[in-house]
Amino acid sequence: MPEKPIFTSILQVAVVVRDMDASVKRYADEYGIGPWAIYDFNPDTLDNMILHDKPQEWSMRAALADIGGVQLELIEPKDDKSIYAEFLKQHGEGLHHVAFGTENYDQAMAFFRGKGHSILQGGIWNGFTATYLSTQQALGLIAEIYNPPPDFEWPEPVAVYPVK
């Protein structure tokens, strides 16, 4: 057992959807969840892309909203190979992963690698590293961990809903 918990907080809960625009509209208009900042993630916006522990490009669109200090993320796959596309084919729309805070990203990666976990998917966006781990069997969910730079600031989204 580790000396202290490897996860220190819950940062994000993510849902894979088929249609981002319809989903964001439903969450905001029918349930009051939002506003949503929408971003595109693809080879033009990400560096060091990984898929199943190998260099591989992938694409998705994400919408982010804050609920009580936890980020809710809606993800629409924009290809047929990302872990989001795989999930949508196997399960349909639904809860995909939970992002957890860690005290030290490198130590957390060493911990998970030591337990035999692989990187399902990952990349670096504006200096912000996001890594999805193969924790489905051990934890019953995909765990994501981050390594943001200390001075990270969210860039302008490509869209916002509802528009003000």
Please report whether residue 33 resides in a domain: yes
User: What tokens were used for 23?
Assistant: 């989903």
Question: What SS3 state is found at 117?
Answer: coil
Number of domains composing the chain? 1
CB 140, CB 96: distance < 8 Å: no
Share of the chain above pLDDT 70, in %: 99
Q: Is there a domain that residue 3 lies in?
A: no
List, as own/partner pairs, every contact residues 44-49 make where C-beta atoms lie below 8 angstroms and the sequence separation is at least 24, other chains included.
45/125, 46/123, 46/124, 46/125, 47/123, 47/124, 47/125, 48/122, 48/123, 48/124, 48/129, 49/122, 49/123
Q: Which of 65, 20, 60, 55 is nearest to 44 (CA)?
A: 60
Q: pLDDT for 4-32, tens place per residue? A: 899 999 999 999 999 999 999 999 999 99
Is 17 a member of any domain? yes
Position 136 scores a pLDDT of 96
Whether residue 4 is contained in a domain is answered as: no
- With pLDDT > 90 as the criterion, what percentage of the chain qualifies? 96
Residue 145 belongs to what domain range?
9-161
pLDDT band at 163 (very low <50, low <70, confident <90, very high): confident
Give the model's confidence band at 77: pLDDT under 50 very low, under 70 low, under 90 confident, else very high. very high
For residue 16, give the CATH number of its domain: 3.10.180.10
pLDDT (mean) for 128-142: 97
User: Domain for residue 1, yes or no?
Assistant: no
Judge whether 112 lies within some domain: yes
Is residue 119 included in any domain, yes or no?
Answer: yes
| 86 CB burial (10 A radius; 0-12, 13-18, 19+) | middle
Alpha carbons within 13 angstroms on the beta-carbon side of residue 48 total 11
In a domain, 2, yes or no: no
pTM (predicted TM-score): 0.95
